[in-house]
Amino acid sequence: EQIEKGGYEHFMLKEIFEQPKSIHDTLRGRLLVNEGIIKMAGIWDHLERINQAQKITIIACGTSWHAGLIGEYLIEEFARIPVEVEYASEFRYRNPIITDKDIVIAISQSGETADTMAAIKMAKEKGAFIYGICNVVDSSIARITDAGSYTHAGPEIGVASTKAFTSQLTILSLIALKLGKHNGNLSNQEFMRLITELDALPKKVEEVLESTHEITKEIAKHFVDAQNFLYLGRGYNFPAALEGALKLKEISYIHAEGYPAAEMKHGPIALIDENMPIVIIAPRQGHYDKIVSNVQEIKARKGKIIAVVNSGDTQVASMADYVIEFPETSECFSPILASVPLQLLAYYVAVYRGANVDQPRNLAKSVTVE
């Protein structure tokens, strides 16, 4: 096992550090920037059908569901096809409106999640075309779907999903850009700009790992005894906030909630005092001014602010107690970069609390029972 961990203390840390490679592997052979194309065997034969879909429903659980939420933003922005995202466990029991004009995208790292599997079977019976996004090759979900793409993130052993998540976001970005280019919603110029950004992500993730590792380790020390955490983000980074909170709760057992930053005033603001740590994801693109006023509200209530901002940020950073910086990219790709320090933060808080990071209590890597 020590050899498999490759010198890292835990699989989770190893997998966090593998992300430049796993994202690169997800893109490999698919993103051909010089030729200006995205080549995806899984989607090519079905482009017409997908582009003519009345709606796309994304079904998944846990972290994969968070990836699905970002997928909704991506597909609606670039391909202009309506998308709904559902927990597979809810979808399967509520007789949803699905027809043979619908596309269902099922996302699952393991490809074995019982709820996702059952939801796929139901959608299939209703005539929908099912597209799978799985990491484990030849898994049950990969076999039952009509078409699909593997994330190629490599084996993920840590129960807390890390590299599979960023690879799911990468695949969803490819799909959204491919559909948008094909159906004419995305201009050639914009497509080229975005694929160039996408291509730069493995390198940027490497930079994020280098620049945030020590600082997240340091910040984590201050929150070992925290009892609650709030994670806030807007737009593409709202699901990133949900995912950051899930990471922390599953491995450190600290209660954490993710919220859209603007929803704070509708309830969670009542929780804020000097004992409440708040992680706020605030890249320059994407409602930055709005986030600044959210941060002012938190500051006025003495919340402890951990700001995850772009390099060189001054406004949010000047109000924060702790600052984590990451390089700029398009807003739609920012969750891929912002998630990395959130994974590291959760990891180190859990390690300092003496938790079993790779095998958290009560959790299994793949949930094959209902």
Burial of 199 (0-12, 13-18, 19+ CB in 10 A): middle
Smaller CB separation from ligand AGP, 310 or 343: 343
57 binds ligand AGP (CB under 6 A): no
Smaller CB separation from ligand AGP, 15 or 331: 15
Strand partners, 259: 232
Q: Is 180 left (phi over 0), alpha (psi -120 to 50) or beta?
A: alpha
23-31, 60-68, 79-87, 209-217 -> range binding ligand AGP (CB under 6 A): 60-68
Smaller CB separation from ligand AGP, 25 or 156: 156
Instruction: Provide, for the chain, the percentages of residues in helix, strand and coil under a 3-state DSSP scheme, each rounded to the nearest 5.
Output: 50, 15, 35
61 binds ligand AGP (CB under 6 A): yes
| Contacting ligand AGP within 345-364 (CB under 6 A) | 363
250 binds ligand AGP (CB under 6 A): yes
Residue with the two structure tokens 């740590």? 277
Residue from 20, 42, 62, 239 that binds ligand AGP (CB under 6 A)? Answer: 62
Residues 6+ apart with CB under 8 A from 243: 63, 66, 165, 258, 335, 339, 342
Closest separation in Å from C-beta 265 to ligand AGP: 29
For the annotated catalytic residues, the residue numbers are 365
Residue from 116, 170, 252, 339 that binds ligand AGP (CB under 6 A)? Answer: 116
Task: Look at the alpha carbons of 226, 356, 346, 265 in this order and tell me if their dihedral is positive or negative.
Answer: negative
| Contacting ligand AGP within 132-161 (CB under 6 A) | 159-161
Residue of closest CB approach to ligand AGP: 62
Strand 304-310: give its sheet, edge to edge: 255-260, 228-233, 277-282, 304-310, 322-326
109 binds ligand AGP (CB under 6 A): yes
The tokens describing 266, both together, are 């509708």
The tokens describing 117, both together, are 């599997």
Smaller CB separation from ligand AGP, 62 or 327: 62
131, 137, 138, 139 alpha-carbon torsion, rounded to 10°: -80
Residue from 22, 26, 63, 310 that binds ligand AGP (CB under 6 A)? Answer: 63
Residue from 22, 64, 149, 170 that binds ligand AGP (CB under 6 A)? Answer: 64
47 binds ligand AGP (CB under 6 A): no
Smaller CB separation from ligand AGP, 27 or 136: 136
Strand, helix or coil for residue 118: helix
In this structure, the strands spanning 129-134 and 83-87 are: unpaired
Radius of gyration of the chain (CA): 20
Residue 130 DSSP code: E
108 binds ligand AGP (CB under 6 A): yes
18-26, 79-87, 108-116, 257-265 -> range binding ligand AGP (CB under 6 A): 108-116
Closest separation in Å from C-beta 367 to ligand AGP: 5
Smaller CB separation from ligand AGP, 292 or 364: 364
Closest separation in Å from C-beta 129 to ligand AGP: 20
Taking alpha carbons only, the member of 119, 158, 170 closest to residue 355 is 158
Smaller CB separation from ligand AGP, 298 or 340: 340
Q: Which residues contribute to the site for ligand AGP (CB under 6 A)?
A: 61-64, 108-110, 113, 116, 159-161, 250, 363, 366-367
